[in-house]
Amino acid sequence: MSKPTIVVVGNGMVGYKFCEKLIARSSAFQIIVFGEEPRRAYDRVHLSEYFAGKTAEDLSMSPADWYAANNIELYLNDPVQEIDRHNKTIHSLKGVTVKYDYLVLATGSSAFVPDVPGINKDGVFVYRTIEDLDLIKAYAANAKSGAVMGGGLLGLEAAKALIDLGIQETHVIEFAPRLMPRQIDTAGSAMLQAKLEQLGLRIHLNKSTASIDGNHKVESLRFNDDTALPTDMLIISAGIRPRDELARLAGLHVGTRGGILVNDFMQTSDETIFAIGECALHEGMIYGLVAPGYEMADVVVNQLAGGEKSFKGFDMSTKLKLIGVDVASFGDAFISEPACRTIVFEDTHKGIYKRINISIDGKLLLGGILIGDAEAYNMLLQTVNNKLALPPNPEDMILGARGGEQSEGAGVMNLPEDALICSCEAVTKGGICDAVNDGACSLDDVKKCTKAGTGCGGCVPMVKDLIAGTLKANGQYVKNVICEHFNYSRQELYDLIKINNIKNYDLALDHFGRGDGCETCKPLVASIMSSLWNDVIVKQDTIQDSNDRFLANIQKGGTYSVVPRIPGGEITPEKLIIIGQVAQKYGLYTKITGGQRIDLFGAHMNDLPEIWEELINAGFESGHAYGKALRTVKSCVGSTWCRFGLHDSVSFAIEIEERYKGIRAPHKLKGGVSGCIRECAEAQGKDFGIIATEKGWNLYICGNGGSKPQHAQLLAADIDDKTLIKYLDRFLMFYIKTADPLTRTATWLNKMEGGMSYLKNVILNDSLGINAQLEEEMQLLVDSFHCEWKEVVNNPELRKRFQHFVNAPAEKDPNVKFEGMRDQIKAAW
């Protein structure tokens, strides 16, 4: 007997989620999906990231082989044209006819385009699909100014997209007297507007567009108040229209203002046809968010696979980051006095607006709005949804407890068991705590067994708190232990190894650990021993991470890249020529790095010692690009050449790099020195940054580029060279001794109790009384520097380790393949 067939019309986020949920529950159905767009379902919520560098594939909801792997037939670029309810078949544009037992309409919505004269001119776009984005991108290349019609959530996203595309002048035009009229109030809108205008957006409220003027293409907008705005392009974002045309054609009931009518089980007027997502009209509501769409998908899966779930409406609370500004709205955001009491906090200096609405008796939280700082959102939403009792001073919920005792009643552990924590995947507090009680101890574990936090990720901080809270409640001591082999934190093991004078890994394992070690504890112990004794690391090569073991960075295909040290980024023409010659001789790809070095890629392991030998003979040494160590101290050209430079930043950068080179730390370290406040060395994005002032140097610490950029913070101002190096010694050594493994200085500081003021107290005021010791330990490391490449080059035994085949030393890895690109090589894959 063949399986009943379910045809899904529409391959958007909700249509995809339906398939995912159904196959997880039942294999009793044959699923066939028709999508109008040319690609697999993708994450429309994060569409604007397409302009910020993500590819269409990055945004895809599933790997390319997902549908085939799950026996789902997928027709892309082939919209369903007709439903024949009598014969229970559908016909697609390309002529496919399929019989169905159940039909799921997930046709989504389209942009509402108002009937304004001139709307068909070139340069007018909507913002819905990747194809729309490609059109916008192409047109934006020749545009200097752009406007977005609509100041709602999507409109502001579209405005961000225009900024990301480099449009110099971006306008937002809203018909209502405020931005995001569905989510926030007038005062909140004013705060958001001020923030967005600081970021370069120009916002026009109370503007109704009368016509779009221009010769064939849009050149300006004319408004009802007879004003005009010149613009090179226009994006329409004036709302959505449910895609119900197919349902209409099939005679299904639709709402007077659009939308396919559904009951609580998401059934349309034909009980074998369901509608979910933005095309469905439930109790007079179209839900334009993804979480309720997923909930609807779940309801239908329950109908088909057996289950009793129904759709009871959905909380439309939202929290998002718009162009870097937090915006949140939850519960009943708009209820106002006298139906409730409101507490409002407004800080125009920092651009923060918070409003909470509480019941007249002061017992319950009804809803609210947060602009500029939405950290409290999760907890506030839970308080509304679970009708938690308010603390005696409800203002603490948006201001934080100010002095005195921490107010009782807050905290995730006090939530009821059925509190919904992850709304994307419908996971409750009870579900998460049960998973922890059943043995899931980490965020990854919990994600795997409950799926909580795998959607938008907004609940992850709460999930983490719940894990820690549950473990603690079970009497488990929560400590950052290294791994199953060492039941110590990194700092504890550091002290043990130091006090007991341990110099080899096996000894450390015998004394303080158990089992045979692993890829986590081996490099960690190696790093600690290096920070303590500064021995030649390749003497214990098999406990090093691959890069440290071979003193080079492993790259695609198994070849290595080589980075000689170029202190401060200063290099003579003679040395440049040597690098070129070495690269030519060994067939290497060359690239300038972000830290002012030259990286040579594509070196066979067998060639590494010879490459180093040639570099060393020309006066180079290892740049430690492979180690958790000081990478680079980047510098601007400074006062020797620059007409603005106050001091010689290059000389100082070289001095500092020479001092700290080779020193191993919990993670890599980067520094920068700028010769004036223009900050061309981008020193404030480094672990330590030094900027020249009229009177000396300013020292900044704990900055970070990378995936979570963070500005460095000022540690000391207007200090001289000697003082600066003294402070740096203390700072770096304190970090080396106390940070968790693989923790950059920025994260180390963020986790530090007391934060910057505590750290300042340690380094500047010697509050722990350890500074003399820190300086001494650092000096020991500085004095024991050795070039690791040289150790290998001069030692025939160590050189022997650089063979791909130990039984065929002369032979290189035949699997390594290169192909050409712009006159150089790249790894062939």
Partner 1 sequence: MQVVEAIEWTLACYSDDIPENGGACVKLGDEQIAVFNFNRRGEWYATQNLCPHKQQMVLSRGMIGSSGEACEPKVACPFHKKTFSLLSGECLSGEDYQIKTYPIKVEDGKVYIGIV
Binding part of the chain for partner 1, among 131-139, 427-435, 680-688, 811-819 by CB under 8 A, reads 811-819
CB 750 within 8 A of CB 758: no
Print the binding letters for residues 466-485 with partner 1: x by CB under 8 A, - otherwise: ------------------xx
Residue 807 binds partner 1 (CB under 8 A): yes
State which of positions 501-520 bind partner 1 (CB under 8 A).
506, 515-519
122 counts as binding partner 1 under rule CB under 8 A: no
Q: Which is nearer to partner 1, 511 or 695 (CB)?
A: 511
Half-sphere exposure at residue 394, Cβ-oriented, CA atoms within 13 angstroms: 26
Residue pair 9/246 in contact (Cβ under 8 Å)? The answer is: yes
**255 lines the binding site for partner 1 (CB under 8 A):** no
- How many positions of this chain bind partner 1 (CB under 8 A)? 34
Six token digits for residue 205: 């409220």
Scanning 98-106, 111-119, 450-458, 539-547 for contacts with partner 1 by CB under 8 A, the matching segment is 539-547
CA distance 189 to 181: 8
Q: Which residue from 132, 346, 541, 791 is in contact with partner 1, where contact means CB under 8 A? A: 541
Helix axes 505-512 and 521-533, enclosed angle (nearest 10): 110
Q: Is 791 in the site for partner 1 (CB under 8 A)?
A: no
Q: Binding mask 434-463 vs partner 1 (x if CB under 8 A, - otherwise)? A: --------------x---------------
- Per the CB < 8 A criterion, the answer to whether 308 and 316 are in contact is no
Residue 572 interacts with partner 1 (CB under 8 A): yes or no? no
Residue closer to partner 1 by CB (options 351, 609) is 609
- Length of the chain equals 829
* 550 near partner 1 (CB under 8 A): yes
Could you say whether residue 57 binds partner 1 (CB under 8 A)? no
The single-letter code of the amino acid at 666 is: P
Judged by CB under 8 A, the stretch of 118-126, 554-562, 581-589, 688-696 that binds partner 1 is: 554-562
- Shortest reach from residue 66's CB to partner 1, in Å: 14
Among 813, 818, 824, 826, binds partner 1 (CB under 8 A): 813
Nearest CA-CA partner of 240 in 193, 267, 188, 277 = 277
Answer yes or no whether residue 644 interacts with partner 1 by CB under 8 A. Answer: no
Count of beta carbons in the 10 Å neighbourhood of residue 288? 18
By CB under 8 A, residue 808 contacts partner 1:
yes
Quick check: 535 binds partner 1 (CB under 8 A)?
A: no
Distance, C-alpha 290 to centroid of its chain: 19
Q: In what order do the strands lie in the sheet with 589-592?
A: 553-554, 560-562, 598-603, 589-592
- Binding of partner 1 at residue 803 (CB under 8 A)? yes
CB closer to partner 1 out of 343 and 483: 483
> Closest approach of Cβ 708 to partner 1, in Å?
21
Q: Does 429 bind partner 1 (CB under 8 A)?
A: no
Per-residue interface string for the shown chain with partner 1, residues 749-788, x marking contact by CB under 8 A: ----------------------------------------
Site for partner 1 in 91-120 (CB under 8 A): none
* Residue nearer to partner 1 on the CB measure, 375 or 445: 445
Asked if 801 touches partner 1 (CB under 8 A), the answer is yes
Phi then psi for residue 508, to 5 deg, are: -60, -45
> Any bridge partners for residue 213, and if so which?
220
Residue 637 contacts residue 598 (beta carbons within 8 Å) = no
Alpha carbon 629 to chain centroid, angstroms: 25
Check residue 806 for interaction with partner 1 (CB under 8 A).
Answer: yes
DSSP 217: B
Q: Tokens representing 685? A: 């994005």
E-state strands within 93-239:
97-99, 102-105, 109-111, 124-126, 145-149, 169-173, 201-204, 209-213, 220-223, 228-230, 234-236
Three-state DSSP state, 797: helix
DSSP annotation string for 141-167: TT-SEEEEE--SHHHHHHHHHHHHTT-
Q: Is 741 in the site for partner 1 (CB under 8 A)?
A: no
Establish if 558 lies at the interface with partner 1 (CB under 8 A).
yes
Integer angstrom CA distances of residue 562 from 559, 605, 623, 801: 10, 11, 8, 17
Q: Which span (142-150, 542-550, 624-632, 649-657) binds partner 1, by CB under 8 A?
A: 542-550
The stretch near partner 1 (CB under 8 A) out of 14-22, 371-379, 745-753, 796-804 is 796-804
Q: Which of 224, 480, 500, 542 binds partner 1 (CB under 8 A)?
A: 542
Residues near 231 by beta carbon (within 8 Å), at least 6 away in sequence = 145, 146, 147, 171, 218, 219, 220, 221
- Report the residue from 17, 128, 241, 522 that binds partner 1 according to the rule CB under 8 A: 522
Output the smallest distance, CB 26 to partner 1, in A.
22
Q: How far apart are CA 605 and CA 602, in angstroms?
A: 9
| Selected range binding partner 1 among 545-553, 564-572, 593-601, 687-695, rule: CB under 8 A | 545-553
Q: Which residues bind partner 1 (CB under 8 A)?
A: 448, 484-485, 506, 515-519, 521-523, 541-543, 545-547, 549-550, 554, 556-558, 801, 803-808, 811, 813, 815
